[in-house]
Amino acid sequence: MDLIEEEVRQLLSKDNTGHGFDHVLRVCRLAEKLARQECADVELVRLAALLHDVDDYKLFGAAAAQNLSNAYAIMQKAGLSETRQKAVADIIRTMGYSKALQGIRPQSPEGKVVSDADMLDAIGALGIVRCLTYAVARCETVVFDEHVWPEANLSAEEYKKPGRASDNFINHFFEKLLKLKSMMLTSSGRREAEQRHKLMVDFLYAFFREQGLYNWIDYLENFEREHSRSAA
């Protein structure tokens, strides 16, 4: 496991988009905690959590994401059995927001745990920081434009398309982050998501209130009502 951790550290050490090794370690810690609460295989959960971003399409391109080339290279170097490699790959292939938009979700207890941990790290206080970090890393000059409204029902292809007019820091909350609470797959994940979701909503209320943007406060309240009804 130490060899795998070091390989992942080296691969992600230069990332400045919020998907670096610090993110991986947080996901690992949270996934292990959830695994114990959900009676899942802790070792498999840790392996998948360590490797879940080493082929991320945003960092390494579509081919790596499809083939999991980095993950397989690391697992083979570490001498993992073919059975273990397949179990890890099956989890990684079913994780991620764009996969969820296509109806692809983990089915195993371990996959559900790692997926929840990864999504949980995208919300709450750390989620806000990561979202802004990603915006800055992409050299966005506008983190919010009050005249550009979110596209709240994007397909997977639309979500991944670069250069969307609505793609900025604040709109990302409505296009993804505020939806993650309802996408948790474990009871432990749902409990944690409730707290982190509330913090993001409070942040957005303050952000809009300080600028006197009451039309955006109305939009936020309507968004929350609609998604509460759909999740019920």
- At 9-40, the pLDDT tens digits run 999 987 777 778 999 999 999 999 999 999 99
pLDDT digits (tens, 9 = 90+) for 38-97: 999 999 999 999 999 999 888 888 899 899 999 999 999 999 999 999 999 999 999 999
In which region does residue 96 sit, left (phi positive, over 0), alpha (psi from -120 to 50) or beta (all else)?
left
Taking 80 as the threshold, does the pLDDT of residue 230 lie above it?
Answer: no
> Which CATH architecture describes the domain 2-231?
Orthogonal Bundle (1.10)
Query: For 145-185, what is each residue's pLDDT tens digit?
Result: 999 999 978 998 888 887 787 888 999 999 999 999 999 99
**When comparing pLDDT for 190 and 229, which is higher?**
190
pTM of the predicted model as reported, rounded to 2 decimal places: 0.92
Give the pLDDT confidence of 97-138 residue by residue, as tens digits: 999 999 999 999 999 999 999 999 999 999 999 898 888 877
Q: Give the CB-side neighbour count of residue 29, counting CA atoms within 13 A.
A: 6
Q: Residue 182 in contact with residue 227, Cβ under 8 Å?
A: yes
For the chain, the structural domain boundaries read 2-231
